[in-house]
Amino acid sequence: MIALPSPLLITSMAAALLAGFVCSTVGIFVVRMNLSSIGYCMSHAAFAGAAFGIMAAIDPLVGAVIFSLGTALLIGPLGEKAKLESNVIIGFLFSVTIALAFIFLSMIPGQAASGTALRILWGSIFAVTHQMVLLLLLLAAALLAFVILFYKEIVAVLFHRKLAEAAGVNTTVFYFAILFFTAAAVSLSLRLVGGLLVFALIVNPTSTAYQFFYDFKKIVVASPLVGMASCLAGFFLSLLTDFPVGASIVIVSAGGFAASIAVSPKRRRGGSAAS
């Protein structure tokens, strides 16, 4: 167990809670709108961007935001069409972003860099800065406002996008807002959770919440709670065991999801055992 100086402990704990909140809130949209492959692609682009940032000696956060937003703008219109080729292109970009990330990582100059490089791969509480916590706080506030102000539109779009469009909602604006929030959430959580695992934090807590409730309002409340709880528990697991923090958080959230499948009231009757 590492003896942490307490300001760092508090800063990184705040970052873990906020990352849990923003990731599992955007997860509500990503899971329901089947944006997983686009989101996955964006999180790897953010990873590549962060690696690029370290290599080019600019803020890795800036690199991550630029790369993942760029990817969102590039593949967002493809996802709109729901044609077969969009999957092909996403698969293509998926490998390109990972390859780029590793090339940038290998080009980071100096000896000490390998530690830095590994940190953005699997996350670190030492990478947390005050600026990052502040930005996470701003993002969390923006997301909260988005969900409250546009709740009825969100329900309509998530229920059925074409019917929402047919009822006069501009669903394209919502679609791109959701991609934007996803890009921001993965970029800001990346250094804590790590480039390879950040997307799991988007999907796991939400998927857990979806196992328990039929009422969308309850999911909107439960998903961020599960996300924050996973992050906090994973954070302390990492302190206790010296596991990388991102991996601990993802293991906890994945364990939560697996347990929720086992006990889900939605699956209890007429489940696979019964039929």
Partner 1 sequence: MSANTSDPAVVLRNIAAVYEGERVPAIYDINFTVKQGELVSIIGPNGAGKTTLLETINGLLAYTAGQGYVFGKDIAVHSRMLRKHIGYVIQNFDIDALAPFLARDVVMSGRVGAIGPLRFPRPSDWHVVRDKMELVGMSSFSSRPAGKLSGGEFQKLLLARALAQEPRLLLLDEPFSHLDISARRQMSELLSRVNRTQEVTMVMVSHDLQSVPAACSRVVVMDRGRIIMQGAREEMISSAAVASIFREGDT
Q: Could you say which of 88, 138, 141, 166 contacts partner 1 (CB under 8 A)?
A: 166
Is 153 one of the binding residues for partner 1 (CB under 8 A)?
yes
Is 165 one of the binding residues for partner 1 (CB under 8 A)?
yes
User: Helices (DSSP H) in 33-170: which residue ranges?
Assistant: 36-55, 60-81, 84-106, 113-122, 130-149, 151-159, 161-166
Task: Report the alpha-carbon distance of residue 133 to residue 128 in Å, rounded.
Answer: 7
Task: Report the alpha-carbon distance of residue 45 to residue 42 in Å, rounded.
Answer: 5
Print the binding letters for residues 200-229 with partner 1: x by CB under 8 A, - otherwise.
----------x--xxxx--x----------
Q: Could you say which of 8, 114, 159, 258 contacts partner 1 (CB under 8 A)?
A: 159
Is 21 one of the binding residues for partner 1 (CB under 8 A)?
no
Element (DSSP H or E) covering residue 226: helix 216-241
Contact indicator for 52, 106 with CB cutoff of 8 Å: no
Is 169 one of the binding residues for partner 1 (CB under 8 A)?
yes
Is 163 one of the binding residues for partner 1 (CB under 8 A)?
yes
Is 242 one of the binding residues for partner 1 (CB under 8 A)?
no
Is 160 one of the binding residues for partner 1 (CB under 8 A)?
yes
Q: Could you say which of 94, 122, 126, 150 contacts partner 1 (CB under 8 A)?
A: 150
Name the token pair of 112: 């000490």
User: Which of 128, 219 has the CB closer to partner 1?
Assistant: 219
Task: Report the alpha-carbon distance of residue 5 to residue 151 in Å, rounded.
Answer: 41
DSSP character string of 129-152:
-HHHHHHHHHHHHHHHHHHHHTHH
Total number of residues that touch partner 1 (CB under 8 A): 29
* Per-residue CA distances from 144 to 21, 32, 137, 141 (Å): 10, 18, 11, 5
Is 152 one of the binding residues for partner 1 (CB under 8 A)?
yes
Contacts of 2 (CB under 8 A, 6+ apart): 239, 242
Contact indicator for 156, 170 with CB cutoff of 8 Å: no
CB of 168 to partner 1, least distance (A): 3
Candidate ranges 95-103, 123-131, 161-169, 237-245; the one touching partner 1 (CB under 8 A): 161-169
User: Which of 92, 151 has the CB closer to partner 1?
Assistant: 151
Task: Report the alpha-carbon distance of residue 71 to residue 74 in Å, rounded.
Answer: 5
Is 149 one of the binding residues for partner 1 (CB under 8 A)?
yes
User: Which of 132, 169 has the CB closer to partner 1?
Assistant: 169
Is 81 one of the binding residues for partner 1 (CB under 8 A)?
yes
Is 82 one of the binding residues for partner 1 (CB under 8 A)?
no
Is 130 one of the binding residues for partner 1 (CB under 8 A)?
no
Query: Which spans of this chain sit near partner 1 (rule: CB under 8 A)?
Result: 32, 81, 83, 149-153, 155-156, 158-160, 162-170, 210, 213-216, 219, 266
